[in-house]
Amino acid sequence: MIYDRVLPRVKMPGQYAGGERNLIRKDHASVDLKVALAFPDTYAIGMSHLGIQILYHMINSRSDALAERVYAPWTDMEQELRERDIPLHTLESFTPLREFDIIGFSMQYELGFTNFMNMLELSDVPVWTADRSINDPVILGGGSISLAMEPVAPFFDAILVGDAEDVIDRIMDTVIEWRGSGLPRRSLHESLCPIPGMYVPSLYDVSYNDDGTVAAIESDPVAPRIVAKTTVMNFENAPYPTRPVMPNVSAVHERINVEIMRGCPNQCRFCQAVKHYRPLKLRSVEKILELCEETYRNTGYEEISLTSLSTADYPAIEELIRMIAQRFDSRQVNVTLPSLRVKGELEHLPGLVSTVRKSGLTMAPEVATDRLREIIRKPILNKDLLSGSEAAWQAGYRLLKFYFLIGVPTETEDDLKGIIDLCDQASLARKKRFRRRGQINVAMSSHIPKPHTPFQWEAMNTKEELLAKQRYIRSCNTSSYLKLKFHDVDESYLESVFSRGDRRLASTLIKARERGLRMDAWRECFDIHAWREVFEQDRVDSDFYALRKRGNEEILPWDMITVGTPTHYLIKEQTRAHAAMGM
């Protein structure tokens, strides 16, 4: 194996060794199309991502195509590869990435942009699309942040906006046909752009005003003026990997991961994900049970996770959990639920949680006062959250985890103090039945006004404002039963720069890579001082992207993409939020 010389020299060598259970290995000479599925973060995170597993299953189901996997190497492995001049390889056949027809990147987080570029560098693939010849791989992107990826747009041949299931075959067929034509890369781009959801950056020209704002976005005559995101039409029977590849080393999630619902019935004004995955799509209880059974037979996992953006809103959640318990309790298989939005029908919550693992229950109230929750359009009340907390303690939970946002528009000290007050009351609720209070872990992130949301025009809080709010919240906490954790403000700032940025930031990312920046989502690698030096070197006003309030009339960098929600509706929602603010 090509990595034999380096594996003894790196941490967790199993993540680079391949040979996992349920992997699929095909003869490269027997197929017309070879696809490398790339995840721009570590193996432990990438192996837990369902989207990669779905694509792996779908592509390998074709007799004329194969899919193999590759993840971002950790810093020690990267150093070994560079020093020994070894290119990045896939795990199935240890084939260099540049020998594949397509390298498809699953983009989940803006702080993975430098990892994406680093993987291309390690594969000896030109980073700029304009520098690639017909012999270079086709670089495709997709994922939850595909709604706004302009800073890396010049590095992709095409970006799929929305769901992949209904269009992946057409994409592959198009690349196969182009590979056999001998035509220039421009021909491929023209052939890809009619596919639903396909955004081809090279076919769009962006100009700018003297003040740095976008002056115009002009599409090539062959390209649609506006790219509409695509959505899977038959979610009930959409492909699902019941024989997932099982990790060699510990991953973030090692369990049966069944997506029971895609989308969310709520329309929270801060949430970009609900725009990406709309409209709401459900799987039936019968189909979910069928997927659980088949996946269990192929893996033996002892945990089933029922995933969606808002699992508690699945219409038949109680029936589903009851049916899973009937089938799997005797096999010692637990059910886990992701972060829950607690609803008003809390008399049902004890039944909902009584059969799941009791280590911890996560709820996402987002903000702590009913007033602020009305502004962000989060349809729950504090009384419901407290009733839900009491029901969870009674059901045997030992820990509750709450997620909050700080920096939301019109936030006051009362709203911040309300986080501690609410969590304190939830902790005290345990004493109604038990002698001791309950342990609450409180995680707080900084609000970023994301593209395609009603808040996309709002200003983000400055670092000084966010740190002051963090200090104030800490000063309000006098209980040892509340453990507070704040997301790094500098990381949130950088995420805001690149989530709200335009394609002029591509050159900034190139300079960041020249500085060796990567793994920006990892605390041991993140270096805001180096980033500030990069911005200064490239003469970029990062505050212009991260913090600035936009006017409703301003052309936004991502306006060539639509999620099916008209701009006038987003503006109406923004106006309603401001009306709720009393402004």
Considering the domain architecture, whether residues 212 and 352 belong to the same structural domain is answered as no
Instruction: Find the DSSP H helices in 31-112.
Output: 43-46, 50-60, 75-84
Q: Which of 203, 228, 253 is the last residue of a domain?
A: 228
> Tokens for 518?
């990567």
CB-based contacts of 138: which residues, under 8 Å, 6+ apart?
A: 101, 102, 103, 157, 158, 175, 188
Give the least confident one: 76-80, 228-232, 383-387, 518-522: 383-387
Q: What is the DSSP letter of 550?
A: P
Residue 286 vs residue 565, higher pLDDT: 286
Considering the domain architecture, whether residues 218 and 346 belong to the same structural domain is answered as no
Considering the domain architecture, whether residues 359 and 485 belong to the same structural domain is answered as yes
At 435 the pLDDT is 85
Asked if residue 184 is part of any domain, the answer here is yes
Considering the domain architecture, whether residues 175 and 47 belong to the same structural domain is answered as yes
Asked if residue 505 is part of any domain, the answer here is no
Q: How many domains does the chain have?
A: 2
Considering the domain architecture, whether residues 171 and 49 belong to the same structural domain is answered as yes
The pLDDT tens digits of the residues spanning 106-138 come to 999 999 999 999 999 999 999 999 999 999 999
The pLDDT tens digits of the residues spanning 323-351 come to 998 898 888 888 877 766 555 444 454 45
Considering the domain architecture, whether residues 212 and 350 belong to the same structural domain is answered as no
At 249 the pLDDT is 85
CB-based contacts of 527: which residues, under 8 Å, 6+ apart?
A: 517
Neighbouring C-beta atoms of residue 186, cutoff 10 Å: 12
CB contact at 8 A, 294 and 327: no
Asked if residue 31 is part of any domain, the answer here is yes
CA distance 177 to 404: 49
CB-based contacts of 520: which residues, under 8 Å, 6+ apart?
A: 111, 112, 113, 114, 115, 491, 494, 526
Considering the domain architecture, whether residues 20 and 164 belong to the same structural domain is answered as yes
Phi/psi at 453 (5° precision): -115, 160
**Of 499, 537, 493, nearest in space to 515 by CA:** 537
Asked if residue 451 is part of any domain, the answer here is yes
CATH code where residue 420 lies: 3.20.20.70
**Of 65, 43, 45, 40, nearest in space to 55 by CA:** 65
**Phi-psi region at 143: left, alpha or beta (left = phi > 0; alpha = psi -120 to 50):** left
Question: 413-428 and 463-476 are packed helices; what angle lies between their axes, rounded to 10 degrees?
Answer: 40
Neighbouring C-beta atoms of residue 182, cutoff 10 Å: 8
Strand 65-71 with 102-106, pairing: unpaired
CB-based contacts of 18: which residues, under 8 Å, 6+ apart?
A: 1, 91, 92, 94, 248
The pLDDT tens digits of the residues spanning 383-404 come to 888 888 888 888 788 889 999 9
Average pLDDT over residues 60-88: 97
* pTM above threshold 0.85: yes
Considering the domain architecture, whether residues 32 and 165 belong to the same structural domain is answered as yes
At 391 the pLDDT is 83
Asked if residue 420 is part of any domain, the answer here is yes
Considering the domain architecture, whether residues 169 and 30 belong to the same structural domain is answered as yes
Bridge partner residues of 529 (DSSP): none
The pLDDT tens digits of the residues spanning 234-262 come to 999 999 999 999 998 888 878 899 999 99
Q: Which of 471, 493, 515 is the last residue of a domain?
A: 493
Quote the domain boundaries for residue 170: 7-228
Considering the domain architecture, whether residues 155 and 16 belong to the same structural domain is answered as yes
At 392 the pLDDT is 83
Confidence of residue 59 (pLDDT cuts 50, 70, 90): very high
Q: What is the mean pLDDT of the chain?
A: 92
Asked if residue 133 is part of any domain, the answer here is yes
pLDDT of 91 over the 80 cut: yes
Q: Which of 452, 470, 493 is the last residue of a domain?
A: 493
Asked if residue 176 is part of any domain, the answer here is yes
Asked if residue 511 is part of any domain, the answer here is no
CA distance 560 to 307: 31
The pLDDT tens digits of the residues spanning 487-534 come to 999 999 999 999 999 999 999 999 999 999 999 999 999 999 999 999
Considering the domain architecture, whether residues 217 and 358 belong to the same structural domain is answered as no
CATH code where residue 87 lies: 3.40.50.2300
Considering the domain architecture, whether residues 222 and 348 belong to the same structural domain is answered as no
